[in-house]
Amino acid sequence: MNKRKSLTPYLLVVAIVLVLALWLGGTYNGLVQKDSLVQTRFADVEAQYQRRFDLIPNVVSTVEGSAAFEQDTLQAVTEARSAWARAGAARDMDGQVAAAGVFDSALTRLLVTVEAYPVIQSTQAFRDLMTELEGTENRIAVARRDYNQAVNTYNVAVRRVPSNIVAALFGFDAHEFFAAVENAEAAPSVEFEL
């Protein structure tokens, strides 16, 4: 009986260590899974933006060929597209999010500017491109929403007690949301010289 009493504290310590190890492993694996989902959702966003960026040179070419167009607007679209590509090549998610916002703004200015040129709007090529672009914009909206949902789930797990301890131990940092660019609610102003 004496021997059994002496083993009880050791068994209790082993049981506690085992429970903590299982909890640590489970929490770590859950964070890895959530982080991986964020990465997957961001890849979906990238794919949709890439589709959009592949369409833009065709839109720009159609617009340039149909009107004496504002070069500033076309240059802003081209520069924003290049910034996205550079951030993507560097695997800089935050840079890509920022570049996407700048690109959204430049593309909006381009489309508002095009509205003043009925000749451009009447060409079949432009109408076809706009249909493609509209479908792509819808896909981007869905991909960004899915990404933000994955980021929210991950960020909550990283901040929630007690998983925040595991997150801090293993370097799980919060991810940035895709958010609307500053002043996105305001319509862009475009002025034409006549």
What pLDDT is recorded for position 184? 52
Q: Which CATH architecture has domain 2-170?
A: Up-down Bundle (1.20)
What pLDDT is recorded for position 193? 44
What pLDDT is recorded for position 188? 46
Instruction: Split the chain (194 residues) into runs of 10 and give each run's mean pLDDT.
Output: 73 93 95 96 91 80 62 76 83 82 80 74 76 88 95 96 95 89 52 42
Q: What is the 3-state secondary structure (H, E, C) of the chain?
A: CHHHHHHHHHHHHHHHHHHHHHHHHHHHHHHHHHHHHHHHHHHHHHHHHHHHHHHHHHHHHHHHHHCCCCHHHHHHHHHHHHHHHHHHHCCCHHHHHHHHHHHHHHHHHHHHHHCCCHHHHHCHHHHHHHHHHHHHHHHHHHHHHHHHHHHHHHHHHHHCCCHHHHHHHHCCCCCCCCCCCCCCCCCCCCCCCC
Predicted TM-score of the model (pTM)? 0.71
